[in-house]
């Protein structure tokens, strides 16, 4: 029997997976977070996908006539998913290219056939950016073009049968398009794609900072139910992100120690020191203070840690201090709620948000305990207070004018002035160690009220000069409460640590 005939016979004899698996394995193999890499349609030049674990980047090459009309030809890097999700990446083409309509983007498909129903968020070689979709198998493709061109940040979100494309030029807020009533089934393929718009040509795209997030369900109860967490480090100049630790639990508010070696965060009411060399957390001893929230701050010299911990019989959150190496905490504020946010550079004072007489204001108190001094008196919520490294100013956020914005005052509470007047609700200003920049968190007004900062929303990390100016988006994040509540700059002012969120696979909401 000839060899080819022999293999064919064995396949028909029921031993398909033993001898015919090689052709299938070219399609299904783990590539980073993806499960398979496949040419869709009758392409002339086979495509490919490669993952670089050093950089976290994916390089995808694809050919094909187009993704249009009633059929598609391109290369697809995919995984299977059910339910709702948020797909995020920064994408760029490699080289000048041949056809102006070569394509990179995210795609959701019902199957891997060339004429399958799908939704994609795509950027063309000539800059055209669009939300494209085929509603039924073999139907003609439709599109909604974005007013934005040349996007290099691409996000595609599914909620039920609604698909939302959010695109941006890095540094700018998202521009949004949406299509409803697209039923691709619950179990779908999601992934990155490249198409050349020319059957004789292979084009390449590079995708970085790829994030696939599963958002909170509609019935999630804030402060009772939690999603999993990614502990990330962000380069504030390039915007490049690295996940250094992942947990199915809620990790919140990483502080960066002055020696650059450790991140300190809270989880389940306890404090942890995360070693950046070993990438492992270690429980910090905080004695019987074990109901800590995400309002914790390191002293400027890195020797002491300030805590905010819930004590119901004292009115809520109470401020304590403890050596950064652990020990018995010392109580500072006699009553709550008292939410710590800043430590003076000389170590003598703490600034915090206190609710007194049904009004939230910023107070100063000696780090060793003593008389509170009220620094803000305007009606509204004043929060997120933090000293500048020279001790001259306190930065904070306030909704006294209707929206939450970033403010600055002198250390004695005088000369209170707004630094932002944006289209977002801005929270938690953090001044870089070199005193030049502020990083803060921005919520969307359509998602969040001006006095609230909830978990699990679409947020931006934005940066601006300490004296004010046009903020730049440096990260597009699914997060919110716990993402960056506390100072999290690296000692060299080049990076910021933060938390992003997702429901981990096979993990229930807890």
Q: Which tokens is 371 given?
A: 């008389």
Would the pTM count as exceeding 0.85? Answer: yes
Q: Strands 74-81, 252-256: parallel, antiparallel or unpaired by DSSP? A: unpaired
What strand order describes the sheet that includes 495-502? 241-247, 228-235, 495-502
Report the DSSP beta bridge partners of residue 166: 155, 176
459: which strand partners? 443, 477
Beta strands in 53-187 (DSSP E): 57-62, 67-68, 71-72, 74-81, 85-93, 103-109, 118-124, 129-134, 142-145, 153-159, 162-168, 175-179
Phi, psi of 24 (to 5 degrees): -75, -40
Q: What is the mean pLDDT of residues 29-57?
A: 97
Query: By the 8 A CB rule, do 489 and 496 touch?
Result: yes
Band (pLDDT 50/70/90 cuts) for residue 27 is low
β-strands 373-374, 382-387 pairing: unpaired
Give dist(CA 366, CA 373) in Å, integer: 9
Across the beta sheet with 338-343, the strand order is 338-343, 349-356, 359-366, 373-374
Buried b / exposed e along 345-383 (16+ C-beta atoms within 10 A): beeebbbbbbbeeeebbbbbbebeeeebeebbeeebbbb
DSSP conformational letter for 23: H
Contacts 24+ apart (CB under 8 A), 344-350: 344/300, 344/387, 344/391, 344/411, 345/300, 345/387, 345/389, 345/390, 345/391, 346/300, 346/391, 347/299, 347/300, 347/301, 347/304, 350/297, 350/306, 350/319, 350/321
Task: Find the angle CA(321)-CA(324)-CA(326) to the nearest 5 degrees.
Answer: 85
In the prediction, which pLDDT does 164 show?
98
Short-list 471, 469, 485, 474, CA closest to 430:
485
C-alpha distances (whole Å) from 379 to each of 95, 256, 357, 382, 408 are 56, 33, 12, 9, 17
DSSP state, residue 503 = P
How far, in Å, CA of 478 to CA of 501, rounded? 6
Percent of the chain clearing pLDDT 90 (strictly above): 93
pLDDT, tens digit (0-9, with 9 covering 90-100), for 363-422: 999 999 999 999 999 999 999 999 999 999 999 999 999 999 999 999 999 999 999 999
Does a cis peptide bond (omega within 30 degrees of 0) precede residue 131? no
What pLDDT band is residue 29 in, cutting at 50, 70 and 90?
Answer: confident
Q: How do residues 343-366 score in pLDDT, each as one tens digit?
A: 999 999 999 999 998 999 999 999
Alpha-carbon gap, residue 28 to 5, rounded angstroms: 26
Distances (CA, A) of 80 to 216, 315, 423, 501: 19, 48, 36, 20
Give the CA diameter of the chain: 96
Pairwise CA distance, residues 444 & 19, whole Å? 54
Does the structure show a pLDDT above 50 at 48? yes
Q: Residue 6 pLDDT more than 90?
A: no
257 has a pLDDT exceeding 80: yes
Task: Compute CA distances 376 → 34, 278, 411, 428, whole Å.
Answer: 51, 43, 11, 16
Q: pLDDT tier at 509 (50, 70, 90 boundaries)?
A: very low
CA gap 346, 172 in Å, rounded: 37
Q: Is the pLDDT of residue 110 over 70?
A: yes
- Reference 229, options 203, 264, 253, 258; nearest CA is 253
Q: Give the residue extent of every domain in the chain.
A: 28-213, 228-502
Pick the CATH number of 28-213 from 3.40.1260.10, 2.70.160.11, 3.40.50.2300, 2.60.120.200: 2.60.120.200
Q: Which CATH fold topology does 228-502 show? A: Neuraminidase (2.120.10)
Are the C-beta atoms of residues 105 and 192 closer than 8 Å to each other?
yes
């Amino acid at each position: 029997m000839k060899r080819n005939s022999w293999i064919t016979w064995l396949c028909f004899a029921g031993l398909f997976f033993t001898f015919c698996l090689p052709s299938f394995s070219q399609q299904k193999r783990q590539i980073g977070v993806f499960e398979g890499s496949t040419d869709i349609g009758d392409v002339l030049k086979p495509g490919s996908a490669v993952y670089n674990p050093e950089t976290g980047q994916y390089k995808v090459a694809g050919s094909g006539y187009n993704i249009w009309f009633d059929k598609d030809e391109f290369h697809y890097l995919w995984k299977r998913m059910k339910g709702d999700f948020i797909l995020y990446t920064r994408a760029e083409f490699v080289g000048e290219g041949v056809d102006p309509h070569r394509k990179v983007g995210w795609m959701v498909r019902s199957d891997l056939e060339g004429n399958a129903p799908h939704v994609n968020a795509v950027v063309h070689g000539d800059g055209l950016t669009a939300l494209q979709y085929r509603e039924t198998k073999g139907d003609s493709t439709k599109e909604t073009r974005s007013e934005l061109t040349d996007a290099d940040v691409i996000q595609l979100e599914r909620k039920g049968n609604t698909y939302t494309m959010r695109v941006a030029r890095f540094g700018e807020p998202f521009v949004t398009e949406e299509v409803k009533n697209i039923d691709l089934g619950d179990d779908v393929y999601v992934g990155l794609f490249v198409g050349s718009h020319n059957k004789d040509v292979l084009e390449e795209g590079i995708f970085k900072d790829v994030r696939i997030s599963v958002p909170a369900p509609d019935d999630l109860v804030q402060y009772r139910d939690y999603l999993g967490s990614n502990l990330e480090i962000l380069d504030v100049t390039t915007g490049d992100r690295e996940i250094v630790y992942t947990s199915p639990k809620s990790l919140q508010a990483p502080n960066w120690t002055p020696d650059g070696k450790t991140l300190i965060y809270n989880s389940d009411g306890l404090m942890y020191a995360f070693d950046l060399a070993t990438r492992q957390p270690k429980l910090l001893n905080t004695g019987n203070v074990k109901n800590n929230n995400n309002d914790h701050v390191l002293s400027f010299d890195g020797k002491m840690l300030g805590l905010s911990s819930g004590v119901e019989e004292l009115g809520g959150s109470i401020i304590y201090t403890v050596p950064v190496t652990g020990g018995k905490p010392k109580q500072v504020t006699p009553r709550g709620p008292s939410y710590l946010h800043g430590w003076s550079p000389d170590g003598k004072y703490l600034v915090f948000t206190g609710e007194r007489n049904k009004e939230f204001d910023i107070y100063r108190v000696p780090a060793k305990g003593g008389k509170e001094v009220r620094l803000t008196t305007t009606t509204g919520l004043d929060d997120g207070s933090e000293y500048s490294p020279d001790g001259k100013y306190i930065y904070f956020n306030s909704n006294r004018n209707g929206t939450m914005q970033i403010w600055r005052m002198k250390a004695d509470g005088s000369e209170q002035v707004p630094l932002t007047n944006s289209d977002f609700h801005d929270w938690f200003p953090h001044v870089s160690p070199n005193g030049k920049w502020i990083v803060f968190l921005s919520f969307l007004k359509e998602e969040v009220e001006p006095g609230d900062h909830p978990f699990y929303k679409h947020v931006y990390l934005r940066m601006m000069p300490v004296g004010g100016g046009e903020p730049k988006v440096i990260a597009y994040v699914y997060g919110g409460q716990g993402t960056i509540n506390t100072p999290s700059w690296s000692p060299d002012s080049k990076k910021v640590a933060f938390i992003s969120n997702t429901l981990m696979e096979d993990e229930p909401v807890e």
